[in-house]
Structures are given as structure tokens and as C-alpha cells.
Amino acid sequence: MKVAIVVNSSWAAYNFRSNLATEFERAGYEVIFIIPYDGNYSKKLQEKFKCHDLYLNVKSLNPIQDIKTLLSLLNIYKQTNPDVVCHFTIKPNIYGSIAARILSIPSINNVTGLGTLFIRKSLATYVAKLLYRLALLFSNVVFFQNTKDQEYFLDNNLVKKSKSRLIPGSGVDLEKFKPFKSINKKNKFVFLLIARLLRDKGIYEFINAIRIVKKHYPKVPLEFQILGEVGVDNKTAIQKFELEGWIKDGLIKHLGMSDKVEDVISQSNCVVLPSYREGMPRSILEAFAMEKTVIVSNAPGCVDIVDHQVNGLICRVKSSEDLAEKMVTMFSMPEKIRQKMGLNGRKKVEDFFDEKTVINIYIKSINSIANNEKVV
């Protein structure tokens, strides 16, 4: 059984799908990755798995570019002849499913989140919905990571209910992300935001909230950090000069990118994500696994895992003032309460979001497809 995993970036494939591929191999499958090579993470993946270079322009809305992606997928599928293809993110979901159908290859799709295209509705949103409606007709099963995304697709007739399944995100590696006995040694309360630097991740709200907190609590030892890539190929990306201005003003510390996210989380007190919409926010699951408190916005995906005042705090979407208020609440509360929240977060991921659960769902689905059985 040969299984292909198709992802829109080498970085995401390496950081988010390596464990899935490893477990596939342990289950007896031959695994290949189909990814756009980046010269860095693609090389790291090639050390463990067979990889094939996919032509894919994530940002482009040019139909000619997307036709090239479809042709690239068709060519790779013909060369590799996989028995099942697992697609992640919008363009692999759409064009990968069409290519798989043309070649009569079963496919599994994962809607990891709706993203900017669906947050900021435009003509491109309408086109994407038409393409999704067509492509998902050909999928054997479509996984959703939260109820709101699943409901959106069902309400807009983008997927048949019989093919729709809800899974607990991508899960979290509970062995890699586990509680550390020591917290940060800076004698400061550290707020950490882990995300690509996009407007839709609530970056501006985070910065404005920092200004509010610093203005009213200038003597409280606080530090605000951002871990994530700047200059992302996205129309809502934060510009480098903006980031440099925030750093110069002493608002934040930018930690860049890291393959050791667990080390960064271990040195923080609270992980923040004021996003406008998520699939299932991995940074929050990872923070929970390490018994850290969190603050998230009242957005799909975020509210699927955070229980207000139980394992974290929830603020209003696009409200810097409310985010600032929740930050103050967080650093002002007794340490014992924060510790209790952290314990509650760890228990939640242990009970519902263990990565092994998600991997088992995939293996069971692949085996069902191989045996010509209905995926349940």
C-alpha cells in the first residue's frame, strides 16, 4: 500500500505531518511526500521519506498557475501510482482531488481551516467554493477540524454529509510536548504568540493590546514575544518594516522561526492567539500539553478547545481592549489558579486531542478504502 501525503509547503510537511508519515510506515505503508521544494525543509524530509517536487504557488489566484499545479499533480500521481492520497490545505484539496479522480485514485481530504480566502469574502471566495464543491465530489472522505467549518461546508453544499467527518485537529504529540518543571528565568511574565505574521492571526490586536497594557502597568515586569515567519506569501502578511518598528519601540521580541517550539513554550507563562478564525490551533494544543495557560479569541477553532476560566481565557474577536483586559487578568491572578488552568489544559488534550487518535483515524480510513469498505 503506497500512501501519498500532499502539503502546500515543505515547512508544514516537516513540522506537522512527519509523525503521521512515520506511523504510516509502521503500519506497513510505503509513504511519499508531494511538496513544493524549498531547499531546506524539503531536504530534511528527504532524509526520512521519498519526496516529489510539486509546482504550487500558494498566493496566486491566476488560473494558469493553478492549471500548472493540476498538471504537476497529475504527472507526479502517474509517476508514483499511489493507492491513496491524503491532501492538506486548500489547493492540494481542490486540485489534488481532481487529479486523483482523473486517475481513479482514492483520496482523503483534510480542511485544516478556511483562512483568509473565506474570512475576507470576494470573487475569489466564490470561485473557491465552486472548486471545492466540484473537487470534494471525488473524495472518499473529508475531515474537518472544527464544527463551524464542517457546518459551513454542509450549509453551502460544498460537501456531502455522508463524506464529512469531524476529527480532533491534527492532534498533539504528548511525548514531545509535556510539562517542564522549570518556567522562564527572566523574572518576567511572558506572553507568547505563535503564528505566521498575518493580519488575520490578530497581530495588530496583539500589538495594540500590548500598548494598552504597557501604558497602564509600566512597572509590571512583562515581556511579549512573537514566534513566527515574517514576509509570508499572503496578502494579509505583516510587512517587515512594521515588525522592525514594533521591535524598535520595545513592544515585542521577535523569535523568528524554530523547529523546537516546545523549548520556546516552556519559557513562557501564557500563549496568546487572537485569531479571526482557525481550523484547530496547534499552538494552543501544544501549550495545553505543556500545562500553559492561554488567551484566545472567540473564533471558530479557538472556542472548540478553550473553556473560559477553566483552561484559559477568551476575548472578543478584533478587540484590542478586551485582549488587553484578559492579559491583565492573566498576570494578576494567583499562580495556583494559573497552574490549575494548565492542568485542565493538559487533561483536555490527553482526553480528546492526542495525536495518536488522529493517526489511528487515518489508518482506519485508509484500510477501509483498501478493502472497498465505507469510511466510518
User: Cβ contacts of residue 324 below 8 Å, gap of 6+?
Assistant: 208, 209, 210, 212, 213
Sign of CA dihedral 48, 49, 53, 57: negative
Q: Has residue 35 been placed in a domain?
A: yes
* Residue 184 pLDDT exceeds 70: no
- Three-class secondary structure of residue 296 per DSSP: strand
Tell me what the mean pLDDT of segment 236-259 comes to. Answer: 91
- Give the pLDDT of residue 120: 63
86 and 8 fall within a common domain: yes
Cα→Cα distances 198→122, 231, 243, Å: 18, 9, 11
Q: Is residue 365 part of a domain?
A: yes
Residue 184 forms part of a structural domain: no
**CB-CB contact of 84 with 107 (8 Å):** yes
Q: Based on the domain organization, do 112 and 256 belong to the same domain?
A: no
Model confidence over 323-354: pLDDT tens digits? 999 999 999 999 999 999 999 999 999 999 99
- Whether residue 215 sits in one domain with residue 140: no
Same-domain status, 348 and 360: no
Name the domain count of the chain: 2
pTM of the model: 0.86
DSSP string covering 139-185: -SEEEESSHHHHHHHHHTTSS-GGGEEE--TT-B-TTTS---S---S
362 in the same domain as 344: no
pLDDT of residue 371: 82
Looking at the domain assignment, is residue 106 inside a domain? yes
236 and 319 in a single domain? The answer is yes
CATH number for the domain spanning 193: value is 3.40.50.2000
Q: Is residue 181 part of a domain?
A: no
Grid cell listed for 144: 474537518
Residue 236 lies in a domain: yes
**pLDDT over 70 percentage in the chain:** 94
Judge whether 54 lies within some domain: yes
My answer on whether 227 and 258 are in the same domain is: yes
Same domain, 315 and 366: no
pLDDT in tens, 89-121: 889 999 999 999 999 999 999 998 776 666 667
E strand or H helix at 3: strand 2-6
Per residue in 20-53, pLDDT (tens digit) is 999 999 999 999 999 999 988 999 999 999 999 9
Whether 176 maps to a domain, the answer reads no
Helix (H) or strand (E) holding 346: helix 335-352
With beta carbons less than 8 A apart as the criterion, state whether 172 and 204 touch: no
Euclidean distance between CA atoms 252 and 261, whole angstroms: 18
Q: Which domain holds residue 206?
A: 189-352
Residue 257 pLDDT level (bands cut at 50, 70, 90):
confident
Shared-domain flag, residues 362 and 340: no
Residue 181 has pLDDT above 60, yes or no: yes
Q: Are residues 364 and 348 in the same domain?
A: no
* Pick from 65-69, 111-115, 150-154, 236-240: least confident: 111-115
Q: Crossing angle for the helix pair 18-26 and 355-370, nearest 10 degrees?
A: 50
Is the domain of 153 the same as that of 142?
A: yes
Q: Say if residue 305 is in the same domain as residue 361.
A: no
3-state helix, strand, coil in the chain (%, to 5): 45, 15, 40
